[in-house]
């Protein structure tokens, strides 16, 4: 199994420094920043042997801590700008990408931990801010996906001789899976919807194909000798399950069943068994085909906390990423021999606990469907709050989850209710739900959710703020047209090709973008074209050295404090700092 990243990535995906609208000296800004600080430093990635960690620090995109987890020392470098961080198998180097403002694309760098120096890798750069990187077993070869002009290719780089190999391989998606079978054989799938396993021998250039005619879709896979574990489905209406494909015989065996999507499956390096993770109502649940190991995993799991395998250290020692409804994610060390589980970091003890949400199925009578949603009431100790943020995730093929999030914690502490919805087209449910990816369906779901708040929570539309991230920002802007007295709209890197010209300028509109985000210039033009860029009720903040995904806590403190000051200015933080 390749080095596994402990990515601190929220499923609504991952939010990416300095604001031109910084609120210096603002009490709310300072309070929010103090709350966010409680999460850091937070481990995000481990070397293959588990002895070195990358940790996210507060005001740097990433800082590097080298050494044992309990005795980490800061390496004086904080230039990581995105989440694509891959450890070399030697445990001494990290490969990462960094945005190049001159070219508008992402370059790849290698960081030598001992020398504390970095060097650009001479490989074609990518427009995609989250490319995949995979090292061969010995670390000689590095496979990397670059997206240029909407075309994605897998390149192979000789990491020892610093040479880019002649051949590259076209794939249909920038998220296509690829992995090394051994030190010179690379496995990849060109198209997840017309899946064919491709195996290329790097030494002689031989390319072999293995059609998967029975599958309608394959999302990812892992390789173990001649066997490949696939996450896929045979029919569009089915949930994703785990399958074993034998490269030698070409036969396929279905390994799992159930009414939830399997999101990941991987062979163990230490025995004839495998681990797999299911998305059960937004919470990851880890299972193992070895009954003894599975019973241990289920014993440490709870109704409000699930796990995902992060790294196998040995036959009896694994690192798990814990996901909770009540506290931030954290890495835990599970000893399978004595069943002892201990946190690597103690974020759950930093006073960030919050109640689990209410799970909802909101009726959309117009579309005859149920909108999957989660509702968190405000943590207001005085009276019930009416101010409510209706959060609309991006994607669209992503999902909101019921797990603890910084956004929900901060907003509920300042007296907001939060309703987070999974509109039609969201992942995590049946494929038939995901395939209803039509903007009118999604707008209808948002409007139905507003009516639900009005009818069942007694919250008027004037107290509802639509908050959309990326693609969700477009939906929030469009939905705002259908409710004349909506309380406001917030765009978090909201991406759209046009803005409604009949926009009600009485609606308060806040927009937050990164100056390094390729869409920022487009959005400035669009907002200026409709007369909103400098209007009374539309305020936009463009953060320097931030991309489409906000990473710095100062950025988020600015965003949260702006929302609170704009829509709930009399809010008081409810938990003692």
84: confidence class by pLDDT, cuts 50, 70, 90:
low
Tokens 């890197």, residue?
Answer: 493
Angle of the 553-567 helix axis to the 406-413 helix axis, nearest 10: 40
Is the confidence at residue 83, as pLDDT, over 80?
Answer: no
Is the confidence at residue 20, as pLDDT, over 50?
Answer: no
What per-residue confidence (pLDDT) applies to 28? 84
Pick the more confident residue, 504 or 384: 504
Contact 154, 169 (CB under 8 A): yes
Q: Is 358-567 the same fold as 103-349?
A: no
Contact 34, 115 (CB under 8 A): no
pTM of the model: 0.83
Helix (H, G, I), strand (E, B) or coil at 275: strand
Residues in Cβ contact with 469 at an 8 Å cutoff, skipping those fewer than 6 apart: 12, 13, 15, 391, 392, 393, 394, 492, 493, 494
CA dihedral 165, 169, 170, 173 (to 10 degrees): -100
Average pLDDT value for residue range 433-439? 74
Listed by start position, the domains of the chain span 103-349, 358-567
Assigned token pair, 77: 């470098």
Pick the more confident residue, 188 or 44: 188
What per-residue confidence (pLDDT) applies to 288? 96
Superfamily for 103-349? Answer: TolB, C-terminal domain (2.120.10.30)
CATH value of 358-567 in 3.90.550.10, 3.10.20.740, 3.40.50.1820, 3.60.40.10: 3.40.50.1820
75: confidence class by pLDDT, cuts 50, 70, 90:
very low
| Chain mean position to CA 34 | 24
Encode pLDDT of 293-339 as tens digits: 999 999 999 999 999 998 888 889 998 988 999 988 888 889 999 99
Is the confidence at residue 127, as pLDDT, over 90?
Answer: no
CA dihedral 88, 66, 346, 341 (to 10 degrees): 60
Encode pLDDT of 216-239 as tens digits: 889 889 998 889 999 999 988 888
Encode pLDDT of 333-357 as tens digits: 899 999 999 887 654 456 788 899 9
**Within a 13 Å sphere around the CA of 127, how many CA atoms are in the beta-carbon half?**
10
Q: Three-state SS string across 440-497, please?
A: HHHHHHHHHHHHHHHHHCCCCHHHEEEEEECHHHHHHHHHCCCCCCCCEEEEECCCCC
Q: What is the DSSP letter of 555?
A: H
Average pLDDT value for residue range 279-284? 89
d(CA 312, CA 334): 10
């Amino acid at each position: 199994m390749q080095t596994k990243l402990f990515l601190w990535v929220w499923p609504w995906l991952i939010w990416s420094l300095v604001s031109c609208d910084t609120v210096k000296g603002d009490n709310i800004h300072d309070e929010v920043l103090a709350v966010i600080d409680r999460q850091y430093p937070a481990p995000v990635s481990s070397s293959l042997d588990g002895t070195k960690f990358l940790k996210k620090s507060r005001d740097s995109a990433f800082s590097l801590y080298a050494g044992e987890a309990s005795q980490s020392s800061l390496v004086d470098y904080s230039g990581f700008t995105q989440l694509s961080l891959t450890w070399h198998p030697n445990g001494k180097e990290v490969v990462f990408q960094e945005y190049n403002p001159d070219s508008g694309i992402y370059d790849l760098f290698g960081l030598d931990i001992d020398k504390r120096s970095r060097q650009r890798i001479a490989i074609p750069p990518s427009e995609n801010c989250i490319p995949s990187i995979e090292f061969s077993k010995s670390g000689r070869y590095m496979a990397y996906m670059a997206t240029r002009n909407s075309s994605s290719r897998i390149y192979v780089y000789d990491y020892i001789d610093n040479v880019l190999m002649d051949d590259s391989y076209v794939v249909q998606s920038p998220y296509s899976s690829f992995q090394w079978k051994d030190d010179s054989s690379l496995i990849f799938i060109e198209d997840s919807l017309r899946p064919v396993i491709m195996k290329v021998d790097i030494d002689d250039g031989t390319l072999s194909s293995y059609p998967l005619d029975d599958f309608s879709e394959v999302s990812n896979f892992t390789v173990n000798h001649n066997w490949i574990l696939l996450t896929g489905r045979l029919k569009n209406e089915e949930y994703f399950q785990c399958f074993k494909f034998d490269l030698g015989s070409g036969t396929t065996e279905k390994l799992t069943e159930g009414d939830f999507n399997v999101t990941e499956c991987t062979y163990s390096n230490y025995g004839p068994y495998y681990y797999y993770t299911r998305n059960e109502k937004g919470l990851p649940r880890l299972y193992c085909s070895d009954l003894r190991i599975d019973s241990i995993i289920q014993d440490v799991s709870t109704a409000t906390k699930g796990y995902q395998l992060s790294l196998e250290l040995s036959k009896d020692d694994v690192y798990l990423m814990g996901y909770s409804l009540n506290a931030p994610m954290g890495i835990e060390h599970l000893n399978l021999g004595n069943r002892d589980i201990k946190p690597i970091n103690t974020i759950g003890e930093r006073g960030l606990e919050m109640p689990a949400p209410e799970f909802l199925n909101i009726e959309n009578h117009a579309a005859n469907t149920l909108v999957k949603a989660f509702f968190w009431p405000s943590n207001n100790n005085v009276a019930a709050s009416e101010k409510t943020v209706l959060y609309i995730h991006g994607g669209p093929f992503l999902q909101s989850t019921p797990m603890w999030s910084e956004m929900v914690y901060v907003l509920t502490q300042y007296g907001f209710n939060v309703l987070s919805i999974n509109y039609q087209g969201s992942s995590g449910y049946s494929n038939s739900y995901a395939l209803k990816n039509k903007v009118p369906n999604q707008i209808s779901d948002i409007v139905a959710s507003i009516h639900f708040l009005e009818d069942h929570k007694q919250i008027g539309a004037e107290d509802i703020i639509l908050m959309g991230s990326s693609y969700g920002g477009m939906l929030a802007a469009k939905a705002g047209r259908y409710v004349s007295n909506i309380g406001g709209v917030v765009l978090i890197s909201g991406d759209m090709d046009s803005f409604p010209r009949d926009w009600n300028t009485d609606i308060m509109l806040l927009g937050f973008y990164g100056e390094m985000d390729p869409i920022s210039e487009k959005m400035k033009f669009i907002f200026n074209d409709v007369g909103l860029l400098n209007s009374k009720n539309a305020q936009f903040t463009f953060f320097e050295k931030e991309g489409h995904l906000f990473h710095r806590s100062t950025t988020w403190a600015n965003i949260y404090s702006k929302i609170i000051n704009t829509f709930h200015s009399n809010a008081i933080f409810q938990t003692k700092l």
